[in-house]
A and B are shown apart, each in its own frame.
Chain A
Amino acid sequence: MSISGLLGQLFAIVLALVLAPLLTGWVNQCRAWLQSRSAPPLLQPYYMLHKLFRKDVVLAHNASSVFRTAPFVIFGCMLLACAIIPSLSTDLPFAPAADTLALVGVFGLARIFISLAAMDIGTAFGSLGGRREMLIGFLAEPALLMVIFTLAMISQSTSVATIVETLAHREVVIYPSLAFAGIAFTFVSLAENARVPVDNPATHLELTMIHEAMILEYSGRHLALIEWAASLKLYAYSCLGLALFFPWGIAAGDSILGLAGAIPLLLMKLAIGGALLALIETVNAKMRIFRAPEFLGTAFMLAVLGLLVRLLLETRV
């Protein structure tokens, strides 16, 4: 572990903290344009965070310590995820802390905490949201693990950095299994980030809400942390998707030049990814909650298909 590596790691974390709300703002802006509404400013999420941090926390009378701890734990989990996933460079001192399987565990831990916090006040909406979140979670997690298995079998490793290095420096061979895995990963990311068609981030006061139902009782700095963590999660999933399926441009070392070259490329990729997300959200309608198993079941089947394609076709060549 070198000093420059440590600095690079610190830079990646700060970049994640700064870019994550920007990405959310950008997706909201794109969506507004596509739906021919006038768009909110790009920096709107920052204004909101600042406002929420300043406001008092209004706690329900029977809120327990779990409720007050959860936002910090969730924020910590997302920060850790962002520190592990290579965005600019694969040379991250934190990377050996968790491979892709452990990364799924980090997201799982955050999910458990947000569901428990949702059940803590004991309102109808809270427990409803918590139950639905766990439902989506256990449907999405196996699909995500199958995607990871496919990638791990291509690169003979579950470490994110090694996968990225293998995929980025491979010869120009098209892996059909990667296509299946990519589509499955997109499905899973939509579900995990509470996006249309599984959930609607713009919804509020609707019987169909999932994520919003869980955080109804949060206010002030707690809400700010949860919103920030949600942005970080979207950023982490975007970076993971980019790193796994479009790894070109991620620097292998920790040279300043490599990093400087990687930043504009990352911004460009995130901008395109955000616009595509807005497009997906605009052309799809939110589905009923009991269609979600079919949706995520499809993702799971695609991921298994990818794995089988990998095992059947690609190892024989």
Chain B
Amino acid sequence: MPALLSIDYLLIAVCTWLAIGLAGLLAPRNMHFISKVLFPLGALVGLGVGITALCFLGDRAETAVLVIGLPTLPFHLRLDNLTAVFALLLGFASVGISVYAAGYFRSGEGTAPGALCLEYHIFLASMLMVLLADDAYAFMVAWESMALSSFLLVTTDHRHEAIRRAGYLYLLIAHIGAISILLAFGVMTSGSGDYTFAGMRTQELSPFWASVAYLLALVGFGAKAGLVPVHVWLPEAHPAAPSPVSAMMSGVMLKTAIYGLLRVSFDLVGTPLWWWGVVAMAVGLVTALFGVLYSTVQSDMKRLLAYSSIENIGLLAVGIGLALVFHSYKMEALAALAMTAVLYHCLAHAGFKSLLFLCTGSVLHATNERSLGKLGGLIHRMPWVAWLALLGVIASAGLPPLSGFVSEWLLLQAFLFSPGLPHSWLNMVVPVAAAVVALVAAMAGFAMVKFYGIIFLGQMREPNLTHAHDAGPWERAGLVWLAALTLLLGVLPSTVIGLIDAATQQMLGTGLADKVREHGWAMLAPISPDRASYQPLVFLATILAALWVGRWLVHRFYHGRVRRSDPWDCGYFFQGPRGQDTADGFSQPIRRIFEPMFRMERHFPTIRDEKPYYSVKVEDHFWYWLYLPAARLVERISGLVIRVQGGRIAVYLLYSFLTLILLLLVARP
């Protein structure tokens, strides 16, 4: 018997996940069996996937052909380094999320636990299959299973009207995207009928058709990832889904779309044109700015995070665009820099965004409240969740020494090289785009301070919050795992780049690893230390030293006395929880400065109001500019179609008869 290849291990993982899911149906109402046995088993499989991918990185690609599929087109599978990086992400992120889910799901209304377990593990297995697929058919089958299983997970609490609507919107946009992807694959076969990816690689597309395929792929994968203007499902579906599902969708599923985009534009479609990168960059910048602006004004904690995910996807698109531009001019070393930033950000975002979504889950369980305006002061009741969330918040704000900063730093470094582009105006416009990236990064800090400060700090805004409890041991373990990943990705950038470099090399023919390895594991210097360098461990050490040594010195030379009293607040006497900023109050400066960017409905109280109240509702312009007109158009067209569809069977029979005669006339031999 031949030794098992890595791809075999991954296939075993897919089957095990499916088996675990089916096992859930054996005892669909036995919560203890499902949460304390099946979900931890799923986490163990995830760990196996992660470790397999980790061991594989840098090896030669492996392929496999399954006997299932179409008669002429069995499932082709392939494990290469790009797949491995994303499988690594999927495996390690799913460990934390599954362990957390073991403590999170409670029996209640909505989907039965057994069905939930099945959907969840099909979701995991189909995401791994998307990464492994090596022909268009297998890819689309896996892609659709992923969309359907996640749709079912989103609508877990399907008794609520709003959640059903959110799920419907998600399914609709997922299918618009899927059609677009299917068309992109169709164009890439260029009529040869060979639907394997290996066949697509050998096709020589004309620049026009290559561009069509690329743009279709951008729309299709963009719809899944949440690029503007097909982002609208994200802020609806994420709050609707249970928190582990939101974490999985935001942390992992969005990355499969990024994987698809990378696969098409750097592997399947051939040599890119320079303006492809500009398109991706422009869309990415708009998405990032839009996402961060809207995330700052949200008052629902999960919507805030959903918009923040849109922002991060935008940054990823900017990085992909930059890599495409460099790649099209054959500046592979610089393309590798941008590509490393993209891959790194994928990993970083999977860690910190899953962490933050899970933290909102714990808050939700403890308080039954999603609205920021009714939370506050939870650090006193939930210290574990609060301190772990702080790590996620710092990483999400893109600050050293955690993971989000490394990728942003690499991206900005890549931007600094863009004046070297041999194009007359591109080399001037692109550096200015870096200014937008800087603005986005800084505003992400604002959104994160709002998120953290309003939920965990301050006074409790509602009296029932005093009963909040900290996360249980399973939930805590899941959070600690993800926080540890965030920290490791933050302080060991050189090691991680050494690992993921195999994917960059596969796509671009060159990587950063050699240069990075020269300077040891503690220092990140992608070009040379004279040019730019970063040592996150020094950051961490200095801050910890200031904390411990500083404390010790102050206590040694002075004292450590503490007295408790009421807050001072300039001597103002009435200090109820209503005196603090609300979620809307906190973002008032943003609404005021960027007023044209929002569609706002506000009510201000007047002096004569008997019961004065203030309300603000911020909505997305795209609903009114794009979606409602589109919906109206569809309705009008259906109205016209109704005239033909009278509802009388005789008329329908006449139609069939006429069609038959027409076909006979046309198809006459």
Contacts and interface: CB of A to CB of B under 8 A. Distances in A.
Nearest to A165: B530
Interface stretch (B155-163, B302-310, B585-593): B585-593
B547 interface: yes
Contacts of A304: 432, 435
A283 to B, nearest CB: 27
B640 to A, nearest CB: 50
Interface stretch (B6-14, B46-54, B78-86, B571-579): B571-579
A105 B445 CA distance: 11
B625 interface: no
Contact of A122 (B427, B554, B577): B577
B565 A60 contact: yes
B562 interface: yes
B565 A59 contact: yes
Interface in A84-132: 94, 96-99, 101-102, 105-106, 108-109, 111-112, 115-116, 119-128, 130-132
B359 to A, nearest CB: 15
A126 B376 CA distance: 14
A228 B547 CA distance: 15
B390 interface: yes
B668 interface: no
A138 B580 contact: no
A199 interface: no
Interface stretch (B30-38, B104-112, B212-220, B531-539): B531-539
A38 to B, nearest CB: 27
Interface stretch (A68-76, A189-197, A269-277): A68-76
A162 B457 contact: no
Interface string A25-69: 000000000000000000000000000011011111110111001
Contacts of B449: 112, 115-116, 119, 130, 134
Contacts of A73: 543, 546-547
Interface stretch (A146-154, A175-183, A233-241, A252-260): A146-154
Interface string A259-272: 00000000000000
* Secondary structure of the B contact surface, majority rule: helix
A293 B409 CA distance: 25
Interface residues of A, number: 82
B529 A141 contact: no
A5 interface: no
Nearest to A119: B453
B442 A138 contact: yes
B580 A69 contact: no
A123 B448 CA distance: 19
A127 B581 contact: yes
Contact of B448 (A76, A112, A311): A112
A162 B530 contact: yes
A217 interface: yes
Given A56-B562, A65-B383, A158 B416 contact: yes
Given A57-B561, A102-B400, A158 B531 contact: yes
Contacts of B454: 119
A108 B397 contact: yes
B453 A127 contact: yes
Contacts of A135: 446, 589-590
A118 to B, nearest CB: 8
Nearest to A105: B400
A270 to B, nearest CB: 24
Interface string B25-65: 00000000000000000000000000000000000000000
B628 interface: no
B399 interface: yes
Interface centre among A69, A83, A96, A308, by most chain B C-beta atoms within 10 angstroms, is A96
A216 B570 contact: yes
Contacts of A185: none
B288 interface: no
B172 interface: no
Contact of B546 (A72, A108, A116): A72
Of B397, B438, B439, B544, most A-chain CB atoms within 10 Å:
B438
Nearest to B402: A109
Nearest to B452: A116
A124 B572 contact: yes
Interface residues of B, number: 90
A94 B539 CA distance: 10
A115 B453 contact: yes
B545 interface: yes
B550 A75 contact: yes
A3 interface: no
Contacts of A205: 570
Given A130-B453, A217-B567, A137 B558 contact: no
A312 interface: yes
B126 to A, nearest CB: 38
A99 B534 contact: yes
Contacts of A153: 416, 419, 431
Given A105-B399, A116-B457, A80 B570 contact: no
A290 B589 CA distance: 8
Given A102-B534, A132-B589, A138 B443 contact: yes
B441 interface: yes
Contacts of A10: none
Nearest to A121: B567
A154 to B, nearest CB: 11
B387 to A, nearest CB: 8
B535 A61 contact: no
Contact of A119 (B431, B443, B446, B458): B458
Given A98-B534, A134-B445, A162-B531, A123 B563 contact: no
B538 A138 contact: no
A138 B567 contact: no
B568 interface: yes
B566 A60 contact: yes
Given A57-B561, A138-B442, A159-B533, A62 B432 contact: no
A69 B563 CA distance: 16
A255 B514 CA distance: 34
B542 interface: yes
Contact of B533 (A69, A79, A96, A300): A96
Interface of B: 376-377, 379-380, 383, 386-387, 390, 393-394, 397-400, 405, 409, 412-413, 415-416, 419, 427-428, 431-432, 434-435, 438-439, 441-443, 445-446, 448-450, 452-454, 456-459, 523, 525, 529-535, 538-539, 542-547, 550-551, 554, 557-559, 561-570, 572, 575, 577, 579-581, 585-586, 588-590, 592-593
5 contacts: A73-B547, A76-B545, A127-B458, A149-B435, A311-B428
Interface of A: 53-54, 56-62, 64-66, 69, 72-73, 75-77, 79-80, 83, 94, 96-99, 101-102, 105-106, 108-109, 111-112, 115-116, 119-128, 130-132, 134-135, 137-139, 141-142, 145-146, 149, 152-153, 156-159, 162, 205, 216-217, 220-221, 225, 289-290, 293, 300, 304, 307-308, 311-312, 315
